[in-house]
């Protein structure tokens, strides 16, 4: 059987993040990708200049179209900018008994542009945390979700992850890409995991990290779609994204924060 993963997220017109990054990641990892677009963004490597939300009823129509025909093995959920869309996505996923859901609580783009309305944060927590197998916040997102300051070390990262578990999450992957140090450390905490699991790779110095969070969550979904257990799916996703970041400077895309090299294992630039 062909492994199928669905991404529910916003579109990035420059191709580096969002739906485009997710589909590239699925393809690079050998998974067929389907998509539900929740928002259109006018965006490039320098920033976001506009957001056009897709109406909730049309988001639902896309979900119904995909699930009525395709056997979806995993779902990645990304940018959901308002309460109406969040509620539509939650209703649609429950209606179709979706499984293996990876929630990336996208709040701010790499450029610093805000992607989630303030009143949508509570809806994200209430509607989607209980449905997701894992949520993947970066340090600023975790701080916003918990009402805490930015985590300064691994102990504080783990503490905020446990706080998110009390909010209804089953498993939390705290992403340490915004931290400092020689290593880039992510920490996986779960209700049935003891102790927490630390994933570390060498920190790569590059400005070209546009779409790294989207790509990591979609890589986890790709692993789950292929039947890999959660821990190995996270480990494989971390390795894939680290390789894509390491090869990012081989590309010459845009004038700002460029994208990862999603196909670094498949083709090389001259």
Range of the domain at 178: 4-250
DSSP-derived 3-state class of residue 53 = strand
Cα(94)–Cα(241) distance, integer angstroms: 30
Q: Is residue 190 part of a domain?
A: yes
| pLDDT, tens digit (0-9, with 9 covering 90-100), for 94-147 | 999 999 999 999 876 655 555 677 778 889 989 999 999 999 999 988 988 888
Res. 1: pLDDT tops 60? yes
Distance (Å, rounded) from C-alpha 80 to C-alpha 161?
21
DSSP letter assigned to residue 35: E
70 lies in some domain: yes
Side-chain half-sphere CA neighbours of 176 within 13 A: 27
Domain presence at residue 267: no
Residue with tokens 């009525």: 68
Q: Model confidence over 46-101: pLDDT tens digits?
A: 988 999 999 999 999 999 999 999 999 999 999 998 999 999 999 999 999 999 99
Q: What is the DSSP string of 136-204?
A: --BHHHHHHHHT-PPP-SHHHHHHHHHHHHHTT-SEEEEB-TTS-SSEEEEEEEETT-SS-EEEEEEPP
Which residue carries 């994200």 as its tokens? 124
pLDDT tens digits for 134-193? 999 999 889 888 888 899 899 999 999 999 999 899 999 999 866 666 788 999 999 988
Backbone phi, then psi, for 67, in 5-degree steps?
Answer: -70, -25
Alpha-carbon gap, residue 7 to 23, rounded angstroms: 8
Distance, C-alpha 189 to centroid of its chain: 17
Residue 116 covered by a domain:
yes
Domains held by the chain: number: 1
What local confidence, expressed as pLDDT, does residue 100 receive? 98
Give bridge partners of residue 5 from the DSSP assignment.
Answer: 33, 74
Residue 168 belongs to domain with CATH number: 3.40.1190.20
Residue 202 is assigned to a structural domain of this protein: yes
Strand partners, 174: 187
Question: What CA–CA distance (Å, rounded) separates 246 from 70?
Answer: 34
Residue 115 maps to a domain: yes
Please check whether residue 19 is in contact with residue 6, taking contact to mean a CB–CB distance below 8 angstroms.
Answer: no
Distances (CA, A) of 206 to 17, 148, 259, 260, 270: 17, 28, 11, 10, 19
Q: How many residues does the chain have?
A: 270
Q: Give the contacts of 168 (CB within 8 A, at least 6 positions apart).
A: 125, 126, 129, 130
- Closest-CA residue to 185 (of 148, 210, 209, 151): 151
* DSSP alpha helix (H) spans, the chain: 18-28, 56-67, 83-95, 120-123, 139-146, 154-166, 212-225, 230-246
Query: Mean of the pLDDT values across residues 229-258?
Result: 95
Whole-angstrom distance, CA of residue 6 vs CA of residue 10: 13
- pLDDT at residue 20 in the model: 98
In a domain, 270, yes or no: no
Q: Is residue 42 part of a domain?
A: yes
The DSSP secondary-structure symbol of 256 reads S
């Amino acid at each position: 059987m062909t492994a199928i993963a669905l991404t529910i997220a916003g579109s990035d017109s420059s191709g580096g993040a969002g739906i485009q990054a997710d589909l590239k990641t699925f393809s690079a990892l050998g998974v067929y990708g389907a998509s539900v677009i929740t928002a259109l963004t006018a965006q490039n490597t320098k920033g976001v200049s506009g957001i056009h939300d897709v109406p909730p009823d049309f988001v639902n129509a896309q979900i119904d179209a995909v699930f009525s025909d395709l056997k979806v093995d995993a779902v990645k959920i990304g940018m959901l900018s308002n309460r109406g869309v969040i509620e539509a996505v939650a209703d649609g996923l429950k209606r179709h008994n979706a499984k293996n859901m990876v929630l990336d609580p996208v709040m701010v783009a790499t450029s610093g542009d805000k992607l989630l309305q303030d009143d949508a944060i509570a809806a994200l927590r209430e509607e989607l945390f209980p449905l997701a197998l894992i949520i993947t916040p970066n340090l600023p997102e975790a701080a916003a979700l918990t009402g805490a300051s930015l985590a300064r070390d691994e102990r504080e990262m783990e503490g905020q992850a446990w706080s998110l578990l009390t909010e209804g999450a089953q498993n939390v992957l705290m992403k340490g890409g915004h931290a400092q140090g020689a290593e880039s450390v992510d920490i996986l905490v779960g209700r049935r995991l003891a102790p927490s699991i630390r994933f570390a790779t060498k920190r790569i110095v590059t400005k070209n990290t546009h779409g790294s969070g989207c790509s990591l969550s979609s890589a986890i979904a790709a692993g789950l779609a292929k039947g890999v257990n959660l821990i190995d799916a996270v480990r494989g996703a971390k390795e894939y994204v680290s390789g894509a970041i390491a090869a990012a400077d081989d590309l010459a895309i845009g004038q700002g924060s460029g994208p990862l090299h999603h196909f670094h294992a498949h083709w090389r630039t001259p």
